[in-house]
Amino acid sequence: MQLASRFASHSPALRSDCPLSDAQIREVAPSIFAEEKHASRSDRYRYIATSAILSELRKEGFQPFMVCQTCVRDEGKREHTKHMLRLRHADQLNGAEANEIILLNSHDGSSSYQMLAGMFRFVCNNGLVCGDVMADVRIPHKGDVIGQVVDGAFVVRDGFKLVDEHRDAMRATTLTAGEQEVFAQAALSLKYESLATPVPITPAQLLVPRRLEDDSPDLWSAYNRVQENLTQGGLHGRTATGRRHSTRPIQGIDQNLKINRALWILAEGMKQLKG
């Protein structure tokens, strides 16, 4: 079990090798257990209790292995702010990776209820987000939501077969050294919006493996090297003024999901070009 800092030092996050209990979740993300919507919401806003949804998903075999919530300046919103859970189904726990359902919600209007497909790599304790393989499941805060949420979870779970097929296709795609550098260069632009000004790190740094298992020329390995180095930070370089610089983990739930999904789409594009 470990506290994760990838969503910013002020935003607590917890990932465990075994299902998280309500007590563990509550300590990290109290907003999941909000008993009502935030006072700023109108009467038309339908409160979706994340804790109740979690209880229903557990009955269907889904268990939470990671939780976090955003950091807010307004303490009055801390108990209602955006939060995220990553859950695995009982039949998705074998192999080097585990498919995960990423659940997003809030009780203050900062987000709709949303589910995405993800994947967790045990070798590096790193969570991936699948970009364009399958559509998000979005549920607005109105109407009969509990049934929609449970049905949506199975829609995402059933789509994991397609996710696995795309992963295997990436593993079967070999990249030359030059193609890997092009991929890493494109990935840099996802974090550093403008490459017109000097970037403190190089594409080659994103391609350096952090473990022997990822030292391979296939697209899946290159994608995972780039994803881990880009999102977890810790790379050393220099700014345009020559000052020493160490990259930080990508901060914020939204930014993390955005870049993770964009990286998957980038890898999919490279796969298609090679095909």
Domain extent listing, the chain: 13-170, 177-274
Give the pLDDT mean for 54-80: 79
For the cut 90, the answer to whether the pLDDT of residue 178 exceeds it is: yes
Q: What are the strands, taking DSSP E only, across 20-96? A: 62-69, 83-89
Predicted TM-score of the model (pTM): 0.77
pLDDT of 9 > 50? The answer is no
- Please list, residue by residue across 13-31, b when 16 or more beta carbons sit within 10 angstroms of its beta carbon and e when fewer do: bbbeeeebeeeebeebbbb
Condensed to tens digits (0 to 9), the pLDDT of residues 93-130 reads 666 688 888 888 887 766 667 888 888 876 565 678 88
Mean pLDDT, residues 179-196 taken together: 85
Which band of pLDDT confidence, cut at 50, 70 and 90, is reported for residue 176? very high
The pLDDT score that the predictor gives to residue 155 is: 82
Q: What is the pLDDT averaged over residues 235-246? A: 83
pLDDT tens digits for range 189-233: 888 875 556 788 999 999 999 888 889 999 999 999 999 999 888
